[in-house]
Amino acid sequence: MELVKRYQIRGVPSEVSRFDFAGRTVEMWSPQEPSSHLLIAHDGQNVFDGKSSTHRGKTWEMAQHAFKVGYETGLVPPVIIAVWHSTSKTDPMGRAKDLSPQQFFQEDVPVNTPNVSKSDLLHLRGDQYLENIFNTYVPQLLSDLGLAISAENTALIGSSMGGLSTLYAAYKYPNKFKTALALSPHWVIGGDALVHRTVKELPKPGSHKIWMSRGTKALDAEYEPYQNLADELMLQRGYRKDIDFATKVYKKTGHNEASWASYLDQPLRFWLES
């Protein structure tokens, strides 16, 4: 773990610290007071810094939302650890490889993407990515802060493929976090089969809180039938709507950081208000 830089973002105290973990960039923001909550975010490029954001300088404004919601709920805002994906010029599919529900695709869920062969599936690294998060990045960064944060107070958040990875992580690492916040999960990549497998593998109702949401514009509009199926299956499994399962539709929002930032306070409240 090597510290690369520290920088300030508008609207919140404290600095964001950027680290290098053997080629993986991971960023962290922590409030000035010791926190008892932790939020882990995918697509770290788009979480804090408009200069690294992939969509015209727009970010999730995650620290600002966490700061505001934390204090409105009477809590010290959560520590935020943001993990960058690994798409690059030499590995243009790095993000998809990182955020894939690897086991599902390698076992029984067909990938609805043209020109993806069985040999391509051997190069998925969703499992290693999650293992690194929970067994390397998070423990080392929390140790650096001198904090021990329980799984009960830990949430994972992501959008699109990051939403799928968030739900997949609840299957792979159910004892590491207890709230999964999946915004615009990219169901279309696996269709109904992916919805069925994902919901089937989620932890038993009552043990975790699950949030799913989607917009109505652009790519998000294609998610409607799949998210409706997911909602139905979640209720069939015994999840209780607005108690341990929330499903939301945000009209006139689409598939971008500005849209997710526009309602980010709501999944954070779902997590922090118990």
Q: How does pLDDT run across 206-259, given as a tens digit for each residue?
A: 999 999 999 999 999 999 999 999 999 999 999 999 999 999 999 999 999 999
d(CA 246, CA 240): 8
Q: Are 232 and 271 in contact (CB under 8 A)?
A: no
**2-272 CATH:** 3.40.50.1820
Inform me whether the pLDDT recorded for 270 exceeds 90.
yes
Inform me whether the pLDDT recorded for 56 exceeds 90.
no
d(CA 183, CA 190): 17
The dihedral through the CA atoms of 156, 160, 161, 163 has a sign that is positive
| 64 token code pair | 């600002």
> In terms of Cα–Cα distance, which of 156, 108, 94 is closest to 130?
156
Inform me whether the pLDDT recorded for 116 exceeds 90.
no
Average pLDDT along the chain: 96
Using one digit for the tens of pLDDT, what is the confidence trace for 120-130? 898 999 999 99
Residue type, position 158, single letter = G
d(CA 160, CA 268): 17
Residue 180 pairs in a beta bridge with 156, 210
Residue 156 pairs in a beta bridge with 40, 180
Domain ranges, ordered by start, for the chain? 2-272
pTM (global) more than 0.85: yes
| 25 token code pair | 């960039």
